[in-house]
Amino acid sequence: MENNYEAILCIVNKGYSDLVMEAAKASGARGGTVISGRGTGNPDAEQFFGIPVTPEKEIVLIIVPKDIRDTVLSAVNKGAGMDTKGMGIAFSLPLSDIVGLPVNQEQ
């Protein structure tokens, strides 16, 4: 079974997952899942980079077709990336198998 989907994960400061989802939906994603998390910032890295580290995080998981992955990643970076209050990082992972999406179910 060939899979044409990828998972996009974006880690942002708590309270900024809406920025991620607004950007993702505007670029073709249908939805996502928000998971609460906690960062383990290094105090030396905070001083070195001059970036305040907020320990409470939100991880947004979005499954998208491979053909829109780059568009969604770019939009998420622009809407909630390091240059925003969300201070997010985003990356994608290939999905080898997936079930439960309506497009994969035989009718």
75-88 pLDDT per residue, tens: 999 999 999 999 99
Task: Enter the tokens of residue 69.
Answer: 């992955």
CB 57 within 8 A of CB 37: yes
Rounded to the nearest 5°, which phi and psi values hold at 44? -65, -40
Domain count of the fold of the chain: 1
pTM: 0.81
Is residue 101, in this structure, part of any structural domain at all?
no
- Whether 107 is in a domain gets the answer no
- 104 part of a folded domain: no
Question: What is the torsion angle, in degrees rounded to the nearest 10, for the CA atoms of residue 67, residue 69, residue 70 and residue 74?
Answer: 140
In a domain, 103, yes or no: no
Give the pLDDT score at 105: 41
Question: pLDDT tens-digit profile of 22-43?
Answer: 999 999 999 999 999 987 766 6
Which residue segment(s) compose the domain that 49 sits in?
Answer: 5-95
Q: Which residues pair with 59 in a beta bridge?
A: 11, 35
User: What CATH code is carried by the domain that includes residue 46?
Assistant: 3.30.70.120
